Chain A
Amino acid sequence: MKHFKAMITVTLRKSILDVQGKTVEHALHSTNFTSIEHVRIGKYVELFVHADSAEQAMNIVDDACKNIIANPIMEDHHIELQEVSVGETA
């Protein structure tokens, strides 16, 4: 059994206007960060999972994202997986 750390970012789908991102973008522009664009605000979820392989771990986490962690009607999710030793999961 291997152990993995999953780092998940959840953002609003591209087709949905991210009002909060837009507001932050305007704030950045008004403080002279004019080269910054397309700001999107999301959330970060970190979790640990044990599985036989990275592929299996990815499937479990992806399933969890589709079912609970993100709402596919309005959100996209992105998962980064990293194998860790048992001690690192505590």
Chain B
Amino acid sequence: MKFGIVVFPGSNCDHDAWYATSHNAGAEAHMLWHKDTTIPADIDCVILPGGFSYGDYLRCGAIARVSPIMSAVREHAQKGKYVLGICNGFQILTESGLLPGVLLRNTSLSFICKDIYLRTEQILSPFTNAMEQGQILRVPIAHGEGNYFADEETIHILEQEQRIAFRYCDANGNASMESNPNGSINNIAGILNDTGNVLGMMPHPERCCDPLLGNSDGLGVFTSLMQTVGLV
């Protein structure tokens, strides 16, 4: 299992993603440069990490979307290989059209940096198959634009096709207005594409993978992928 982590100017969770996948999960992980035009054939999963690519100029992810590596990321996804976008990576995926919808400014207008709870909604995906249905995870968020929005029809399709991987909830698993940190429709925290090989999520699983940090709830995302691909 090999992860490839894309480094954009302004990425700041790239090293965390590398540490979580290699050191904590025990897979191989390599950094990929945003100017690269190809992705090595042996990379199973591309991670678009969190951060502020291109300073969030224009809109979060709008400039990264047209960087050279993104055509290769699109091809990688079209081959059925895996793409995981975390936080700014999720924003890049929606701007690219690899995932539907958009991430609006948080309804509080504040940048929110804290631990939240997630309910695992879909355990048949390659990103969640090591988890239990409804499993509650404590994972940090750190974003100003994480308010997931899509038109009614898109939301209906996402719900019907069970493509919502994670929902914001409270410690007991209740997804309510109170447990929704940013205003996302239906408490959506992470979604899958229609073929299930692309996941975008605002919370940061890579920031909670090491028991030394007191929380390793995020590790399941990476071990699920390793379980899917096979531990190589």
Contacts and interface: CB of A to CB of B under 8 A. Distances in A.
B29 interface: no
B150 A23 contact: no
A16 B152 CA distance: 12
Q: Say which size band chain B's interface belongs to.
A: 10 to 19
Interface in B53-101: 58-59, 62, 66, 94-95, 101
Interface stretch (A29-37, A50-58, A69-77, A81-89): A69-77
Contact of A20 (B58, B94, B102, B105): B105
Interface in B136-174: 149-151
B62 A68 contact: yes
B198 interface: no
B66 A68 contact: yes
B53 to A, nearest CB: 15
Contacts of A68: 58, 62, 66
Give the secondary structure class of A's interface.
mixed
Nearest to B152: A15
B104 A74 contact: yes
A20 B109 CA distance: 7
B109 A74 contact: no
B107 interface: yes
A27 B223 CA distance: 49
Contact of A16 (B62, B66, B109, B149): B149
A25 to B, nearest CB: 13
A60 interface: no
A73 B101 contact: yes
Nearest to B150: A73
Q: Which one of A20, A69, A71 has the greatest number of beta carbons of chain B within 10 Å?
A: A71
B107 A19 contact: yes
Interface in A2-36: 12, 16-17, 19-20, 23
B58 A69 contact: yes
Given A19-B183, A73-B102, 20 more contacts: A12-B104, A16-B104, A16-B149, A17-B107, A19-B105, A19-B107, A19-B109, A20-B105, A20-B109, A68-B58, A68-B62, A69-B58, A71-B59, A71-B95, A71-B102, A73-B149, A73-B150, A73-B151, A74-B104, A74-B149
11 contacts: A16-B104, A19-B105, A19-B109, A20-B105, A20-B109, A23-B109, A68-B66, A71-B59, A71-B62, A71-B95, A74-B104
Interface of B: 58-59, 62, 66, 94-95, 101-102, 104-105, 107, 109, 149-151, 183
